[in-house]
Structure 1
Amino acid sequence: MPTSQLPRALFAMDPAHLSELFPPRLMHRLQSLTVVDAALVVRDFGDPAIAGALAEAELLLTGWGCPHVDSAVLDRAPHLRAVLHSGGSVRGWLADAVWERGLTVSSAVRANALPVAEYALAAILFAGKGVFGLRERFRAEQAPPPADALARIGNLGRRVGIIGASQVGRRVLELLAPFEFEIALYDPYVDDATAAALGAVALPLDRLLATSDIVSLHAPDTPETQRMLDERLLGLMPDGAVFINTARGALVDPDALTKELVSGRISAILDVTEPEPLPGRSPLYDLPNVFLTPHLAGSLGNELERLGRTVVDELQRLVAGEPLLHTVNHAHLVNSA
């Protein structure tokens, strides 16, 4: 297609991410589909220097660090017809006006869900084998654990409870399918038939927590899910159960979780906490039954290219007049991350 017929696009994100999202081979492909200046990355839509580019833009290619797109921005972008987001959630970046004016919105949320799900899968498998606790014991005693400790480990038939059939939760369910787990799912928006199709048995939250050996949290961070796991619910988990959180720390009562972990009754694998990071005085840094990582489950390093590739693939469909695969339904945002 001649350059004169290509849509004009504008990057809006933290420029630090641009080269990781769109390395040279991907940038070349992107620039064969749209007219875009890789040296112009918007951090402030009010900057007079970008007024001309914004006025001509038909597409916004956004990512982490994108300034808020609201009615005032849209007023200065009369030709804008689509926003292709290279991050996960678009909440916080895009105002309702984007959908109200009929713009198409696409997100790489499914691509970003994959590394989180991979982390969760690894955590579940290691938890079932008792890897984290036995590592601490092995390091302290410098001797193989006794037979009675090994008798309690293993993943055959272990009950794994998944909280939230989000994009990440569904990816985790897909990844768990080849293993011989019993899988339970709690999601207030998922019925029994849908849960079964996802490879799980739908359970109320209380029962899931009370009967699962491993619980992995994948609910979205919304006003309704804030502190959804409180002292009562955490107290339902069986002695020796493992709690995994790759969602958001705000979904769990931090004092209640700390109390349970300090007691040693349950264990946890936490990629996210409340607050984040934890203060230096937090006992969670030193507890042998807690495995902490610094919010690294999501796309990082070379995984960012997958997000950029999702955007370029969507752009190719848009230019070809084909339906996009990853459109964001505005009505679903209230119940999603």
Structure 2
Amino acid sequence: MTRVRVRSDALSAASGRLGEGADDLRRAGAALGAALARCRSPGLDPGALVAWWRVETDGLRLAGPAGLWGLALGLDALATRLSVAARAYAQVEDAVAATMAGVRAGADLGARGGYLGEGGAAVSVRPVPAAAGVAPLAGPADLVALGDGLHGGRVRVVEVDDGAGGSAWVVAVPGTQEWSPRAGVNPFDLTSDVGAVTGDATLAAAGVTAALEVAWAAAGGRARHRDDPVLLVGHSQGGILAAALAADPGFRVGHRVTHLVTTGSPVGAFAVPASVRVLSVEHADDPVPTLDLSPNPARASWLTLRVGAGPPVDVGRHALAGYVTTVRAAEGAPRGTVSGLGAWEASAGTFLHRPVRSVHEVVVERGWQNPPT
């Protein structure tokens, strides 16, 4: 995995659109004001004055007591407010980028002291028996639930029949399992949290890639490998790593990522291409999804379900089980109640309601030639 860009362009794009809208409104207000001034200029014949009176009367009726002059001034005032909002959005975007750069610099400094660094380490993967079988995946909640039981650095890969004689692959990535600031054997830790959220390559992400390769090798001749569709799903850090892989052009060269599911993950700053259909679920009172200070992109290929009313903050709402419950409730709601969810499920038909061909679990570990002291 290579370092990926984590600067969000969402606010910058919104800033540009607001600026353009402000300019359009300002031009419209100026044009209306100029037209009104010409109509009121001396030398108009009686017929024109009658026509103008009708315009003024209609303006009072449609635009209120201030009439069309008030409307022209209102357009200019609205344009000014939009311009102020545009500048604020751009400043916030710059502040987020500066914050991310500061986090990365702090992590680099900490690595020199033996903290939050993976220097000298390599990734290893070890296939282990699957803890349990997997039934056909009926919906997004079943995808999210695949993250349950992935203790000890396990990654789960599920092969399903794609309905066309080939295979599709669901890769479940675990969340943070170790909280020590010193990197240990289990790479799903605080070191990977900091590295992944700032766009750095991590051994945890490399291990996820290796786990998929192990599953492909075990499938033998059934797998088309590079042509097979891949869905990445993760909770918390697992979602960060999954989004980082989906945003990594180097990973996508050898893996056809078509879908991404994240729960409780700060992923708005990752440049996931529009070719990947994303479903992000966030509890409004879970503080973790907002740690990147960036809103998720507002586009057709990225569906964000933000559930709840927001503060007060409740760290208990970050638990995987709670997100499984939330997604299952969204699935069970009357059709059309959760806007966009039905369309996302339809797009993921290659992975859902398909026979399961195999389940693979791989333990991902860090190893050092010269272990850190």
Larger relative contact order (CA 8 Å, sep ≥ 6): 2
Structure whose CA Rg is larger: 2
> TM-score, normalised on structure 1?
0.26
> TM-score, normalised on structure 2?
0.24
